[in-house]
Amino acid sequence: MLELKTPLGDEAVAALRAGDRVLITGHVYTARDAAHARLMKSLQAGEPLPFELKGQVVYYVGPSPAKPGRVIGSAGPTTSGRMDPYTPALLERGLKAVIGKGSRSMAVREALKRYNAVYLAAVGGAAALITRCITANELVAYDDLGPEAIRRLTVERFPVVVINDARGGDLYEEGLKQYCQAGPA
Amino acid sequence: MREVNVSSVTDAVDRLCRSANEVLGEDVLAALKAAREREESPAGREVIDQLLENARIARVEGEPMCQDTGLAVVFLEVGQDVHLAGGDIEAAVNEGVRRGYVGGFLRKSAVQDPIDRRNTGDNTPAIIHTRIVAGDKVRVVVAPKGGGAENMSALRMLTPADGRAGVKAFIVDTVRRAGPNPCPPIVVGVGLGGTFEKAALLAKEALLRPIGQTSPDPATADLERELLTEINRLGIGPQGFGGRVTALWVSVLTYACHIASLPVAVNINCHAHRHVEAVL
């Protein structure tokens, strides 16, 4: 079990391999479909983004609302593939890791190699468990998007698994190679 | 004729929305525990351990087991001898959803228009399926459906020549192509026959059957068994990390269909397999 602190350095990211189990401590920025669309619009218009990308981590999540006295509601990952169209541009600008679940496109996997970044998976549906790792929750942008707003979460030992490393490794492919008993598709 | 005030439907829907999201069904828990024993992949076993622990935390702390508390899919079975009084029944259902999702701190995951995509703010409207049945009761089933697994669902209008082999190939291929995205281990509902829309509804209704219960029709039960085996040979495993357990169960509902058609609908559900009911 590797421990990583944000912001993430190039060396630490380059050393990760598909299948590595990692505990992340520090800050992650939440963003999913609607927030990514707005970030892209800003990038294309040459406008500044609501947060600095270099060395940072984006977590694809739309949390349920926090009960009174709680930091956040349940906060497990959403399906990453929907953010594929937006991801290479963010990686190009220094984003070092994205956390979600489910497979990424070849374009994203190529961009991870090109820009030295990694794709990590949190366990989908273990939302109440993941919430226990979140110690603070601060609105950053797009409040009108409700659960889809960009928030800065402070996390402590948030467990994730490396799916795609910066060298082209893919845990989903490795898993199938090891366990698939079906004939060719 | 028995009068049922729609406010009791509102109350039931409110209650059921919350409990569906916080308390995982006994049949699902049992299936996850059995899957833990069957799973050979260490990563897969660890995922299942986390899911079981997550279910415990959700139940004990009254938190949703998954942040995607879904669209509210509501099945109403209204007895012929019931008079629904006190207002519009669909408005009553939606008021129940509103109270459950707002009061219950569940996520508001509905957008009013698929293109415009502005959030409705209260998780309404519900998706309501109503049937008139014999008797004087009202049965309310709330089955919240998240987006991830629902997005991996598929329907195809096969032809009669495709036959049983074609049906199986389409279902298994749908699961194969979904891979890790629907949050395995999954539960698969299949609608076979009917028309385009009937097949889809059958597939959703198939997901209401308890895990472990097979079709009462022997030929369909054979199909279910074979599908479960073939799906689990895909090796996708829990969360797609590789393993022996990709699906916990497969249920198939069939219906008569046109001499020229063979509709097959595959509705995939994740392991947060949520459906609860009340009879009024």
Q: What's the CA gap between B270 and B231, in Å, rounded?
A: 14
pLDDT in tens, B120-135: 999 999 999 999 999 9
Confidence (pLDDT) at B32: 98
Confidence (pLDDT) at A182: 84
In a domain? residue A150: yes
Q: B12 pLDDT exceeds 90? A: yes
**How many domains in chain A?**
1
Its ipTM equals 0.90
Neighbours of A92 (CB within 10 A): 14
Kindly list the distances between the CA atom of residue B133 and the CA atoms of A123, B79, B81, B263, B277, in Å, as whole numbers in the listed order. 41, 5, 9, 26, 16
Burial of B235 (C-beta count, 10 Å sphere; 0-12/13-18/19+): buried
Confidence (pLDDT) at A151: 97
Residues A67/B22, Cβ–Cβ less than 8 Å:
no
Spatial CB neighbours of A1, under 8 Å, sequence gap ≥ 6: A21, A22, A23
Q: What's the CA gap between B17 and B70, in Å, rounded?
A: 10
Residues B154/B216, Cβ–Cβ less than 8 Å:
no
Confidence (pLDDT) at B225: 98
In a domain? residue A52: yes
Q: A185 pLDDT exceeds 70? A: no
Confidence (pLDDT) at A78: 95
Q: What is the mean pLDDT of residues B16-30?
A: 97
How many residues in chain A? 185
In a domain? residue B116: yes
A1 confidence band (pLDDT: 50, 70, 90): confident
- Let me know whether B108 and B7 are in one domain: yes
Confidence (pLDDT) at A15: 97
Which residue, B41, B49, B172, is CA-closest to A177? B41
Distance from CA of B54 to the nearest CA of A (A): 5
In a domain? residue A45: yes
Whether A12 has its CB under 8 Å from any CB of chain B: the answer is: no
Could you tell me which residues are beta bridge partners of residue B266? B154, B190
Could you tell me which residues are beta bridge partners of residue B273? none
Q: Find chain B residues with C-beta within 8 A of A174's C-beta.
A: 242
pTM: 0.94
A184 confidence band (pLDDT: 50, 70, 90): low
Confidence (pLDDT) at A90: 98
The active-site residue, picked from A27, A32, A36, A151, is A36
Which residue, A117, A100, A99, A123, is CA-closest to A166? A117
Which residue, A167, A133, A163, A164, is CA-closest to A61? A133
Q: Find chain B residues with C-beta within 8 A of A148's C-beta.
A: 119
The partner residue sitting opposite B105, judged by closest CB among A62, A64, A126, is A64
- Let me know whether B112 and B176 are in one domain: no
- Let me know whether B15 and B116 are in one domain: yes
Distance from CA of A7 to the nearest CA of B (A): 26
**How many domains in chain B?**
2
Q: B90 pLDDT exceeds 90? A: yes
Neighbours of B201 (CB within 10 A): 18
Domain range for A141 is 2-169
Q: B59 pLDDT exceeds 80? A: yes
**CATH code where residue A35 lies:** 3.20.130.10
Q: What is the mean pLDDT of residues B43-68?
A: 95
- Let me know whether B227 and B174 are in one domain: yes
- Let me know whether B117 and B177 are in one domain: no
The partner residue sitting opposite B119, judged by closest CB among A146, A161, A179, is A146
- Let me know whether B124 and B194 are in one domain: no
Is the CB of A175 less than 8 angstroms away from the CB of B230? Answer: no
Q: What's the CA gap between B182 and B267, in Å, rounded?
A: 11
- Let me know whether B193 and B264 are in one domain: yes
B224 confidence band (pLDDT: 50, 70, 90): very high
Q: What's the CA gap between B137 and B76, in Å, rounded?
A: 10
Residues A77/A121, Cβ–Cβ less than 8 Å:
yes
What the block records as the tokens of B74 is 């509501």
Whether B233 has its CB under 8 Å from any CB of chain A: the answer is: yes
In a domain? residue A130: yes
Task: Decide if A27 is catalytic.
Answer: no
A127 confidence band (pLDDT: 50, 70, 90): very high
> Which candidate in A64, A82, A151 is best for mutational testing of the B interface (most B CBs within 10 A)?
A64
The partner residue sitting opposite B181, judged by closest CB among A19, A66, A102, is A102
Q: Domain boundary at B83, B116, B144, which?
A: B144
> Which percentage of chain A shows pLDDT scores above 70?
99
- Let me know whether B159 and B129 are in one domain: no
What the block records as the tokens of B25 is 């069904």
Domain range for B94 is 2-19+65-144
Is the CB of B106 less than 8 angstroms away from the CB of A34? Answer: no
Is the CB of A101 less than 8 angstroms away from the CB of B69? Answer: no
The more confident residue out of A57 and B118 is: A57
Instruction: Compute CA B210 distance to the chain's CA centroid, rounded to the nearest angstrom.
Output: 11
